[in-house]
Structure formats: C-alpha cells, structure tokens
Amino acid sequence: MLTLKNKTASLIAAAVAQNFGEGLLSAEEILAMLEYPPDKSMGDIALPCFRLSKRLRRSPVQIAEALAASIKCEEFSSITAVNGYLNFKIDGTAFSRRVVGEVIEQGDKYGAPTFGAGKTVVLDYSSPNVAKPFHIGHLGTTVIGHSLKLLHEFAGYKCVGINYLGDWGTQFGKLIVAYKKWGDRATIEEGGVDELVKLYVRINNEIKAEEESNEEKKSPLADESRAEFRALEDGNEENLALWRWFVDVSLAEYQKTYKLLNIEFDSYKGESFYTDKMPAQVQKLRDMGLLEIDDGASIVNLDKWNMPVCLILKRDGSTLYPTRDIAAAVYRKGEYNFDKAIYVTSAAQSLHFAQWFKVVELMGYDWYDKLVHVPYGTVSINGAKLATRTGNVILLRDLFAEAIARVREIAKDKYTDEEELQAIAEKVGVGAIVFYYLSNNRMRDINFMMEDALSFDGNTGPYAQYTYARTCSVLEKVGEAGKMTGASLSELEVELAKTLSVFPERVISAIDDYEPSVVTRYILDLCAAFNRFYHECSIANCEDEKLRSSRIALTRATNQVLRTALNLICLQSPEKI
C-alpha cells in the first residue's frame, strides 16, 4: 500500500500543479495527509481537502472535484469527490497483480526500508545480573531488544547487540561471603547458577535475621559483604578469581536460553569493563563545574529540568549507575560511532535514563540526542512481584520446558523421528511464549498467566506458525510457483493482497515507535486474511487455470511475508507442524 500511496501522492501533486499552479504542494506533503477511510464503501485511500483550502484558496469541495477530474490511474476503479474528500477505490485485480508481483520479485527484501543504509545502531538489551536466574522478568528486555535489532537490520542498519551484564556491585560481596562460608565448588559446577542463587538467597535471609535480632538493625554479615566487595574493587586476586568464575557459571546458563531464542550478541562487556573509564568522565564533570557536593556526595543539579539531582559519586567516593552508563556511552560512541544508541529496560528506570541523558548533554557531547530509552511495563505472576532474594520467580528455562513438553504431547503422533519432534516442539513452544509477550504493547504491564501464555488456540504464536506451515503445505502440493494473471479476483483475494501491501508501512511504524507488537498484530491480520481466503477459495483444485495460478501466487506471497514477519519478532517458521 505504501507504493500505491506514494504513487497517489505524486499524481495528486501533479494535479494540484495543473489546476492551481506550480510549487504549491509537494508529493511528500500530500503523502502525510493521505488516510485510510474508516468506511470502506467510501474507498481505500482518501485525501481530506480541508487542509488544502487555505493554501489553494478554494473550498474543499472545489478542490476535491477539480482533482478527481484530473487524475487517472489503472490501479483505481474510481476516483470520486465526496463532501470535500478525494476518495480512491482500488481496482482489485490490477492492484493485486502489482503487489503480489512485488512480493515475489523482492523476496525476503519485501517491506524492507532503506533509511538505515550506512548507519550504525547500538542496542543494549537483555543484560541479566550475573549469579541470578534468567526469569520471566528478563523476557521483555530480551525479546523486545532483539526484535528491535532485527527490525533495524531489516532497514539496512549495521546493528551491534550489547549484553551489558550486571557483573559488578555489592551483591558480589554478599556472594563471596556466602560461598566462603557455605559454598562448595563441585556443587556449583554441577548445579550451576541455581546453586549461586541458593547462596544469594541464604545470605540475604541471614542478613535480614541479624538486622531483626538487634535494636540497631546492624548485620555483621552485611559489613563483611561490603568489605569483601571493597577487596574485589581493590584487586584482591582471590576475590577476582571467584568473581570471574561466578560470571562464567552464569553465562553458561544464559547461553542455553539465548540458544532457544536464536539470539547472539556482539558484545558481553558488562559493568565491570567500565570501572577504569569512569574517572575520566567524573573529572570532566568536575572541570566543567557541573559537579556539586551535597551532603558529601557528588551530584549534578537538574532542578532546571524538573528532575531530581543525578548522583555521580557516593559520599565514600564510589561510583553509581549513572557514572557507569555515561562512561559506557562515551566508550561506545568512540568504539562504534553509532548513529543511534538504544537502551531497552523497564519503565521503572525511565527517570534514571532521563537524568543521565541530560548530564551527557550538559557535558557537551553532541550525540546526546542519539540516545534512546525504550521502556516496557512490568511482569508479575498472578499479581505478585518478582524478587530474586525471596526466590519468587518463574525461570525462563522452566517456562520454555513446559511449553516444549506441551507441544511434544500434541504433536507426538505426527512424528516418528525424535529429533524432528524435538525441533518442532522447541520452535513452537518457545514461539508461543515470545508471541504472547510481543502481542502486547510494550508499555502494558503484564500479569503473567501460564495458561494464557501456553494456549494454542486463538491469536497465538502456534496459530501464526501453523498458518505459515499451511502455506508451505499448499505450495508443496501444487508443485508450481504460480503468477498473477488478469483473472478477476474475489473480495477475499483482493483483501489478502491489500493485507500483504501494508507490511512495509507496519515495519516502518514498528521501527519509528520502537514497538514490535505492531508486527505481531500485523501477523495476526495476515493469518486471518489468508485463512479466510484458504477456506473459501479452492487453490490446488481450481479448474480455471488463470485463477489457479493467481491463487498460488497469492499463497506464495503470503508464505514469504509471513516468514519475514515472524523472523522480525524472533519466531522461527517451521514448514510442518
């Protein structure tokens, strides 16, 4: 549809020049004014001429009538003026022939914008905290972030995916203490991150018990943990060796989840990487007179921008998250020379990003406006917040395992090959969870309900993947590529072609709004349009050869666009289910 809208805008611009004078309106200006009428009986594309009245010095009715009489296009069956609107009704056969032809000709490039060519985007996403489990709360940043990476790559950007691991901080002091007191290397080597979590939960419980057992609310274990982290920061080799091991154990576990999601990162540089890069930025702030001392802490005052102060250094001189993030951004700009840097994190961190983005601007970095925070809503389990310290989590691996097991049970009678069954179960089971998450607007808070996520009925991932598999089955059965002919098409066939035609617009919208759910909703629209066509229109057994060829081509185009769209939201496309 975007191609036709561009063509329509050019035709209208030419008609304006012909009827009212040269240089009054550009095709770009007109394109921005074109609408899809809410009532399809009025047409498929409309131009409200009210917006043109002042510039063209005519009434909207006069403008619409003059333009309607001047424009001719084979893809429109009618061009009419109705109460100040210029309405265009598509000629289904001509339009469908062009759209399907474009899809087949362009293949997996259909719908791909080109505005990213020669530009670089850095995406910071997933970024779990080391020695903690990969739970459902991490799903948002991981799949939203990776989908945005895929969308930007589709638009021609060079993308750098960064997993900014939470591999530094006082929690490692706690973990070191817990390991030294209660840990066992062989147990952790065998049990992996789960054993680290047990130690972390235990020491937090012990600290809480100590605090509650005395009037001063003090905990010797907490003091010991802070001391061990200071030793780590100071380069204590024993603590550094333990810390590196904790990171390796954690990464080995995370990689299992990333493999199921088919995700790879270009960098795993975590918080620790930037410890020696922060002093230079702190000094720059000091030299520029931006640092103020407030109760012993070093801050940047953001009162002028209606934000709380941004803490740069604690009273004891230790750094905070804004300090690390500023240092990381400066490093990444130097390393990758990005045109855009995207951070995908919870909406709860929105103020944090607004603060340090503003500090970067005040520091004089002219790329401050290239920093983008993409927030998303929270996830709860039956209304209960997730908390690693109390063990109230649903691990992603457990969630995926249950989904995979359910698919295996459903599909076990269809597959005799165990490897094939497992591969299908993983694609569909994991896809069900991802699709469920990405079908929601990213800002919506999700109360995670296991049954809803793993449902295989209705507007779900398995339904979308099954529709794709259905197109594969049809194409395998007919054994030919098909092509669009001059055969007259039914309303269902034209509607499918129209749905195919809006894919490029949906891609642009998803990129502009940083909203993968735009693609997810489009997939459901395309599946619905194809399934209506499939159930009402004979394809393989159609007796009219020209119509049969067109229907095969429509199926082939649907197959192509569905495969592309599913990939953009991190889903695989099994040819059989």
Query: What pLDDT is attached to residue 486?
Result: 85
pLDDT tens figures, 518-566: 999 999 999 999 999 999 999 999 999 999 999 999 999 999 999 999 9
**Contact status, residue 487 vs residue 93, Cβ threshold 8 Å:** yes
Which residue bears the tokens 């895929």? 150
Q: Tell me the C-alpha distance between 312 and 357, whole Å.
A: 13
Q: Which domains does the chain have, with CATH numbers?
A: 2-90 (3.30.1360.70), 120-390 (3.40.50.620)
325: Cβ contacts below 8 Å, ≥ 6 apart: 352, 356
**Whose CA is closest to 484, among 557, 553, 541, 561?**
553
Q: Token pair for residue 157?
A: 């950007």
Which residue bears the tokens 């269902």? 492
Query: What pLDDT is attached to residue 389?
Result: 47
Q: Tell me the C-alpha distance between 567 and 560, whole Å.
A: 11
Query: What pLDDT is attached to residue 383?
Result: 61
Query: What pLDDT is attached to residue 385?
Result: 60
Query: What pLDDT is attached to residue 387?
Result: 54
Q: Fill in the amino acid letter for 59.
A: S
What DSSP line would sit under 106-138, residue for residue? HGGGTT---TTTT-EEEEE---PBTTS--BGGG
Q: Tell me the C-alpha distance between 146 and 261, whole Å.
A: 10
**Contact status, residue 345 vs residue 140, Cβ threshold 8 Å:** no
**Which residue positions in the chain have pLDDT lower than 70?**
381-393, 450, 453-454
Q: Tell me the C-alpha distance between 4 and 34, whole Å.
A: 11
Q: Tell me the C-alpha distance between 192 and 341, whole Å.
A: 33
**Contact status, residue 52 vs residue 17, Cβ threshold 8 Å:** no
Q: Tell me the C-alpha distance between 558 and 110, whole Å.
A: 11
385: Cβ contacts below 8 Å, ≥ 6 apart: 378, 392
pTM for this model (two decimals) = 0.91
**Contact status, residue 290 vs residue 349, Cβ threshold 8 Å:** no
